[in-house]
């Protein structure tokens, strides 16, 4: 069962819908069972002898595997019921998957397995995807934060 923890508001937190005193954005907290299972996965693949380093890397692995649980839940809802998502909500589900979940997945993979190869790197390395004028990753991220709460409730 997923427990919920409150996120910070303000500069280092996620925005709320404007009803900050009533409604807060929450992110799932991994259950103790999930943490133990992920630690077992890490321990199966890693052979670090130093117990302090092993515990540190195990914690980092679990963090990177669980910090994007909200994005995973949003993606699962979107895949199960795409008809319930407005275009902007669908865009944000994919955007946050790429900008938040994917870096965590990559970090967890490097912690557990060391060097990771990208089998698609040579296919898309020089692919210059045209973008809409004025749509940079950072400006899009800033404008997208306003809609994050609506996406998480879809």
Q: Tell me: the pLDDT tens digits for 15-53?
A: 444 443 333 456 789 999 999 999 999 999 988 899 999
Q: Which residue, chain included where needed, has tokens 């409604």?
A: 23
Residue 117 confidence class, pLDDT cut points 50, 70, 90: confident
The percentage of the chain sitting over the pLDDT mark of 90, rounded to a whole number, equals 53
Q: Tell me: the pLDDT tens digits for 53-77?
A: 999 999 999 999 999 999 999 999 9
């Amino acid at each position: 069962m997923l427990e919920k923890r409150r996120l910070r508001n303000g500069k280092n937190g996620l925005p709320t819908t404007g009803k900050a005193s009533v409604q807060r954005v929450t992110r799932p907290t991994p259950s103790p069972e999930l943490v133990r299972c992920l630690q077992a996965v890490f321990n199966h693949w890693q052979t670090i002898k130093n117990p302090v380093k092993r515990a540190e890397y195990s914690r980092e692995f679990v963090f990177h595997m669980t910090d994007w649980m909200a994005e995973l839940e949003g993606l699962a809802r979107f895949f199960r019921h795409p008809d319930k998502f407005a275009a902007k909500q669908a865009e944000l589900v994919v955007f946050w998957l790429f900008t938040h979940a994917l870096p965590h997945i990559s970090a967890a993979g490097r912690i557990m397995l060391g060097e990771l190869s990208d089998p698609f790197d040579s296919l898309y390395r020089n692919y210059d995807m045209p973008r809409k004028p004025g749509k940079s990753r950072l400006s899009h991220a800033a404008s997208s934060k306003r809609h994050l709460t609506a996406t998480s409730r879809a």
